[in-house]
Amino acid sequence: MTRKTAPVLTSDQSIALTSGLRAPAHARAWVSEHVATLSGDLVDNALLVVSELVTNAVRHGGTGIVVSLRHLSHGVRIAVADAGEALPTPPDAQPRPDAPHGRGLLIVAATAADWGVVPNDPPPGKTVWADVVLQD
């Protein structure tokens, strides 16, 4: 899987989170409120994606996190911004079964219709985005 880059669209809603162990749960609860009227599978996929992206932001961003949500015609775009400098890339191969980390972006890539990362303008940091849409 190659990393795709695309501009993050202006969000319809966003929330600032403090980086920490509870950030993924707070992000899931917030996204759940904003996508509750959508298809059950789409909601489940959106919650999985936001959990993975926020977990990565906590582990690698080390600062406050902003989660944004934009409604699309057939789904949602989830974007997670942090001040970490390193741009994430998925591993070249599946992690070993006993490896404790390394699956997050593989899960995002398998779940989202499209995803990417862009450096924040102005720096520092980056925004990782994923489009979660209804499956055909």
What 3-state DSSP class applies to 131? Answer: strand
Residue with tokens 């499209």: 114
Q: Domains for the chain: give ranges and CATH numbers.
A: 13-92+100-133 (3.30.565.10)
pLDDT digits (tens, 9 = 90+) for 95-135: 777 766 768 899 999 999 999 999 988 888 999 999 999 87
Span 14-18, average pLDDT = 95
Of 114, 63, 105, the C-alpha closest to 87 is 105
CB 92 within 8 A of CB 85: no
pLDDT digits (tens, 9 = 90+) for 59-94: 988 788 999 999 998 999 999 999 998 888 877 777
